[in-house]
Amino acid sequence: MDIHVVQPGDSLYQIAQQYGVSMDRLLQDNQLPNPSQLVVGQTIVIRYPALIHVVKAGDTLYSIARSYQTTPVRLLQNNPGLQGSDRIFPGQALVIRYQDQPEGSLTVNGYAYPSMDGKLLTAVLPYLSQLTPFTYQFTPEGELIAPQDEALVQAALQAGAAPILHLSSLTEEGFSGELAHRLLSNPEAQSRLIAALTETARSKGYRGVDVDFEFLYGQDAQRYAQFLTRLRQSLAPLGLPLTVALAPKTSDHQAGRLYEGLDFALLSQAVDFALLMAYDWGYPGGPPMAVSPLPQVRQAVDYALNYFSPERLLLGIPNYGYDWPVPYREGNRAVSVNNVQAVRLAWDRHASIRYDAQSQAPWFPYVGEQGQQREVWFEDARSIRAKLELALERGLGGVSYWNLDRPFPQNWAVLSSLAEIRSGTEDQAGFFPQPVV
């Protein structure tokens, strides 16, 4: 795989000629909405097929996979133009394998809202080991509040991805430390919630549970670990691993509402796996900067590895960016943009995309419709490669995307080039190795 950065005067035809691939291959691998609208600084992923099959009458995706001793899922990964569908036609050229040699294997998780577009979900499911519907909530008394998750669970199971039940302390006002405190201070409420979680996971076909309590009070750090220990003991007879989602701490006594209630030493003994939410350094209420700057991500990963063995840790990766008004003033807020929208915005506003070498992130300034100066930071193929290579370099168990509701075709091309994606039908919901006991 190569990543081409568009230069002034480039056309897709010239890029294809330069790398010795077809324009159709570039269009499919990058899912470009308009190939004539290339932005200076935009990335184009170049993949090199090693073996191609031309579909004949009577072929199916399954028969082709069988004849080449591969799997339908791998064919879907290698042919993003199929958009996750097994519909093929005579004369169609399918990539059986690329020249890429994976650098390692990863469990790949992604969060999704129940409202996620069905076509987009179908397109990304082949790249997932796990799918996590967002989110189950609870009352202070331990009553479980379920989302409309049935369609997502069934889609995951049909695609061979493991559905993971997500429990959070989210309320209408945001994540609540007070809600968590009231639960953690009430053993009976905890028992009620644990029983409901265990039964729901069993009855709906979930393959694991992921717990995300944020803005915990410092006084609740030990209670949180004790609650997770109890939940894990309830899930264990069903063979369901427990994951805890963690803010990206970098020291034991780090100040701040996000960190003070998270004791990594205690939590590492309470759960099977941890998901490090390594994003939102750049956030709507703060100054413009990379959402997930690589030096800070690396520091957070290395701190977490003091307590979790690499195979027990998943690296959270953002699938979004922000658009800020500048200069930054307290009270001004950025708006969220997806990575495809960011490139389109650069085209519309005649901006060139730049790349910050230190944070390993793309950005660009532009002038808004009202003449206001603005600045966008987002993710592209280069920044995604940097984070995936960090996960592989550190030997992490996997990665997790927040979230899947925004299209980002280049991510999947880079991911499937760099890593072997573990199947969600494996033991322990695509995790490797077995969780600790």
User: Which residues does residue 321 pair with via DSSP β-bridges, in sequence order?
Assistant: 337
Do the domains at 1-27+36-46 and 104-421 have one common CATH topology?
A: no
CA distance 429 to 437: 16
Residues in the chain with pLDDT < 70? 426-437
Environment class of 422 (CB within 10 Å of its CB; exposed 0-12, middle 13-18, buried 19+): buried
CA 42 and chain centroid, separation: 21
Domain ranges within the chain, ordered by starting residue: 1-27+36-46, 49-98, 104-421
Position of tokens 């500048």? 326
Q: Give the C-alpha separation, 258 to 281, whole Å.
A: 12
Apex 362 CA angle, 255 and 42, nearest 5? 160
**Bridge partners, 355 (sequence order):** 362
* Superfamily per CATH, domain 1-27+36-46: LysM domain (3.10.350.10)
**CB contact at 8 A, 231 and 194:** yes
Strand pairing class (104-112; 130-133): parallel
Residue 214 is among the residues annotated as catalytic for this protein: yes
Instruction: Show the tokens assigned to 260.
Output: 């003070």
* Domain 49-98: top CATH class: alpha beta
Q: Does domain 104-421 have CATH number 1.10.260.40?
A: no
Q: Contact at 8 Å (CB) between 366 and 346?
A: yes
Q: Which two tokens stand for residue 331?
A: 């009270």
| CB count in 10 Å sphere of residue 298 | 17
Q: Can you read off the two tokens belonging to residue 168?
A: 């959070």
Q: What is the pLDDT of residues 41-54, one digit of tens each?
A: 999 999 999 999 99
Q: How far apart are the first and last CA of the chain?
A: 39
**Chain centre to alpha carbon of residue 114:** 16
Angle CA 370–376–378, to nearest 5: 150
Residue 304 confidence (pLDDT) = 98
Pick the catalytic residue from 178, 199, 214, 375: 214
Provide the pLDDT for residue 436.
39
> Residue 360: which of 385, 334, 328 has the closest Cα?
385
